[in-house]
Amino acid sequence: MRSEFHSKLLDKLVDVGEPAFNMAHEKLLDMVINADLILGSSVTESRSLSTEEWNTLSAIFDELIAYAKIHFAEEMDHLRAHRYPDVEQHQVDHDALVDELNHFQRKVMENDDANIKEIRKWLLGWLLNHVNNKDFAYAQFFAAQKK
């Protein structure tokens, strides 16, 4: 069962005007939420994460990174094909996110409870920040062109 907090996160995702991309964003956010549930359980239950939980987190991160890369590549193809003027900056933003994902994947692999707060804070922010600002910018640009 998804908590109210997690449902609210999903509700916050903006419509970027492309159903396939909206679905990809939801799928990515689902992975983020699944990872957050594990990280959050250590906080709410005031306990350490088990090795098994860290391994599950690491597997979610692997999937998250792989799926994010596929989505980013599809989005870039779309932006280039439709001559989005800020396409190069969008590529830079995606590359920075992949670097961050890899950085936090390494943090997960340290299996250190001291990193939980930091991982969690970043994990809940990066996707919504990108989609609701940078992806929303191309959505607005293309919507204005159609008028």
Q: Total binding residues for Fe ion by CB under 5 A?
A: 2
Q: In whole angstroms, how close is the CB of 71 to Fe ion at the nearest point?
A: 6
Q: Among residues 101, 116, 120, 135, which is the contact residue for Fe ion, using CB under 5 A?
A: 135
Q: Which residue is nearest to Fe ion (CB)?
A: 135
- Are 42 and 113 within 8 A, CB to CB? yes
Q: In whole angstroms, how close is the CB of 143 to Fe ion at the nearest point?
A: 16
Query: Using CB under 5 A, which residues numbered 62 to 91 contact Fe ion?
Result: 75
Pair of tokens at residue 36: 């957050």
Pair of tokens at residue 24: 């990809």
Q: In whole angstroms, how close is the CB of 100 to Fe ion at the nearest point?
A: 14
Q: Which long-range contacts (CB under 8 A, 24 or more apart) does 93-102 make?
A: 93/130, 93/134, 97/68, 97/72, 97/126, 97/130, 98/65, 98/68, 98/69, 98/72, 100/126, 101/61, 101/64, 101/65, 101/68, 101/126, 102/65
| Contact region with Fe ion (CB under 5 A), list: 29-37, 59-67, 96-104, 133-141 | 133-141
Q: In whole angstroms, how close is the CB of 41 to Fe ion at the nearest point?
A: 28
Site residues for Fe ion per CB under 5 A: 75, 135
